[in-house]
Amino acid sequence: MSRPNLPKRAGGFYPPFFQSFQNEMAQMLDHLRGTAVPQPTEDFFSSGAMLVPAIDVAETETGLEVSADIPGVSKDDIDVMVQGDTLVIKGGKSTEREEKEKDYHLVERHRGSFRRHIPLGFVPADGAVDANFSNGVLTLKIERPENAPTGVQKVSIGTS
């Protein structure tokens, strides 16, 4: 994949390793800006990098609905907890591959893990979180307590 902003040099574009380096830097900057999140794939796990699942948060009439894309991870490898007004989703995956041939023995181990903190804006009551995991998607329905503030509060700014 070539990037249109790559400067040309005599004889064409820069070598492929430079293009790869520029793509990786662009992805890193996008991630830091929050504009793009790497999608979890088998290649992502095999790179030894940390998994960053895509998360969607939607407000409903009764609370929040959170969905996290975590393909390839089993339900038993995911932990969901509420710490005060923060939802914490963490988990990981490890794979191992072994090949034995008459002239070599190959063993590969890959691990990926993640931990996401999602501010809720309220402290849910015990038992107010319903979790479901199906086809690599974790869906959480979090009920907002009746006394939790909703809406926006305008703050006036004074002068000194």
Q: What is the pLDDT of residues 109-139, one digit of tens each?
A: 777 788 899 999 889 999 999 999 999 999 9
As given in the structure block, the two tokens for residue 107 are 């063993």
Instruction: Find the farthest-apart pair of alpha carbons in the chain and give their distance in angstroms, rounded.
Output: 82
- pLDDT above 70 covers what percent of the chain? 72
Q: Pick the residue with more confidence: 26 or 17?
A: 26
User: Identity (one letter) of the amino acid at 17?
Assistant: F
Q: Pick the residue with more confidence: 25 or 90?
A: 90
As given in the structure block, the two tokens for residue 1 are 């994949």
Can you tell me which residue has the tokens 């520029």? Answer: 22
DSSP secondary structure letter of residue 83: E
Helices and strands of the chain, counted as H and E runs? 2, 9
Paired residues of 112 in beta bridges: 93
Q: Under CATH, to which class is 39-143 assigned?
A: mainly beta
Residue 64's CB: how many other CB atoms inside 10 A?
A: 20
As given in the structure block, the two tokens for residue 74 are 């089993």
User: Identity (one letter) of the amino acid at 36?
Assistant: A
> Residue 156: helix, strand or coil by DSSP?
coil
Residue 132 has what pLDDT? 95
From CA 16, how far away is CA 55, in angstroms rounded?
A: 33
Arithmetic mean of pLDDT, 54-60 = 90
